[in-house]
Amino acid sequence: MSEFNINTIVKDFPTLETKIYGKRLIYLDNAATNLKPRSVINSIHEYYSQGTSNVHRGLHYLSEKATDKYEMTRDKIKSFINARDRKEIIFTKGTTDSINLVAATYGLEFLKEGDEILVSEMEHHSNIVPWQLLAKKTGIKIKVIPINDEGEILLEEYEALLNEKTKLVSVVYISNALGTINPIKKMIEMAHQKGAKFLVDAAQAMAHTKIDVQDLDADFLAFSAHKMLGPTGVGALYAKEELLEQMPPYQGGGDMIDVVSFEKTTFNDLPYKFEAGTPNISGVIALFHAIEYLEKIGLENIISYEDELLQYGTKRLQEIDGLKIIGIAKKKTSILSFAIKDIHPHDLATFTDKFGIAIRTGHHCAQPLMKRMGVVATTRASLSLYNTKKDIDELIYALKKAEEIFR
């Protein structure tokens, strides 16, 4: 097992050296996007300064080098999530794009009026709206799996919703607004028993839990690089090869074709059939370094360190009068969503900002979830591997000050 040394980890993230209003940055907005280690940042600089070239197109040195590096990331992801084959990894713009890809290809091709899709009450908008757009085009029905007051999926209700009309279940692995870790493996098994396919929204899961797509038996899994120490605007879709083979292309353009004529066009093999146009090359290459960094520190170390922070933060938040944690699932990751009586979340975020603290307030792109939990917005502190107990102490200090001022 590799060593977890928080002092060296903190030094790997140059943004943490930034001063905000002259104060040390305390970055607690990791569920929105996390900071990048130096190796990720350097790889982007290196690509543009020494290696700019397109991929899969040129026979010259730089193009071959860029292609090799780009394809190395595919192999890295394959082993990181234990996919059967590198063909099952499609580069996209991120989780949203991956889910839209499935809706626009698998959904449009294979789902028809009368079919049902299940999503849960705790989904991010990007796992709701693509299905609503698809429903408009196809007449499929979207049904919602309810959750309890703690923020956990009700498995009996889920079971009751599954029937022979259910063709797809699309559920988040870890909730961005509550931190709940859903029993995805069990849910996939239940969906498969009814013959439904399962899409896992793993946006928040990749850097906070070990994912093995074969063990989960996931049909689709979507994620974004920027929530796992990588750059923005890039991510991937994992899908079983047999499904990708049957699915029509997503977008048309360069790279996804075999032979083009005005009479008939044939398409490239997997995975390229789904990768039209010049991709985010530096982003894909940087994702390699993000995964390498996670592997170097060790996911198990990260999970246990973040859990320690979660327990500490949960305990310390109790010191704030009138504070209620929103999302108290038995299994959760290091996300602390809360509401404080008589203090508006936006006032709180503006106030804590002056202390150099970056926290998020709002509906976290999960408006139906906010409604279910009986709040319009929450304040969210989301922790990552480079946060410390001292960061939490400073948050508590600022919250106590806010209490004095706003009450």
Work out how close the CB of 176 gets to ligand PLP at its nearest, in angstroms, rounded to a whole number: 3
Active site residue 365: yes
CA–CA separation, 93 and 387 (whole Å): 27
In the chain, the amino acid numbered 145 is I
- From start to end of 173-286, where are the E strands? 197-201, 220-224, 235-239, 257-260, 265-267
Q: Nearest approach, Cβ of 94 to ligand PLP (angstroms)?
A: 4
* Residue-wise DSSP of 257-324: EEEE-SS-EEEPPTTGGG--SS--HHHHHHHHHHHHHHHHH-HHHHHHHHHHHHHHHHHHHTTSTTEE
Separation of alpha carbons 189 and 214, rounded Å: 12
CB nearer to ligand PLP: give 140 or 172: 172
User: Closest CB to ligand PLP among 237 and 302?
Assistant: 237
Residues 6+ apart with CB under 8 A from 166: 115, 116, 117, 118, 143, 191, 194, 195, 196
What are the residues binding ligand PLP (CB under 6 A)? 94-96, 124, 126-127, 172, 176, 201, 203-204, 224, 365
Q: Which is nearer to ligand PLP, 73 or 204 (CB)?
A: 204
CA triple 153-158-160, angle to 5 deg: 150
Terminal-to-terminal C-alpha distance of the chain: 48
Report the residue number, 26 or 236, with the smaller CB distance to ligand PLP. Answer: 236
Complex with ligand PLP: residue 326 or 398, whichever CB lies closer: 326
According to DSSP, the residues that pair with 337 across neighbouring strands are: 380
Cβ closer to ligand PLP: 178 or 317?
178
DSSP letter string, 333-365: -SEEEEEETTB-HHHHHHHHHTTTEE-EEE-TT
List 129, 365, 375, 396, catalytic entry: 365
Note if the bond before 37 is cis, omega within 30 degrees. no
Tokens of 55: 């991929």
Question: Of 66 and 122, which has the nearer Cβ to ligand PLP?
Answer: 122
Distance CA 185, CA 191 (A): 10
- 63 and 54 Cβ atoms separated by less than 8 Å: yes
Q: Which residue numbers are catalytic?
A: 365
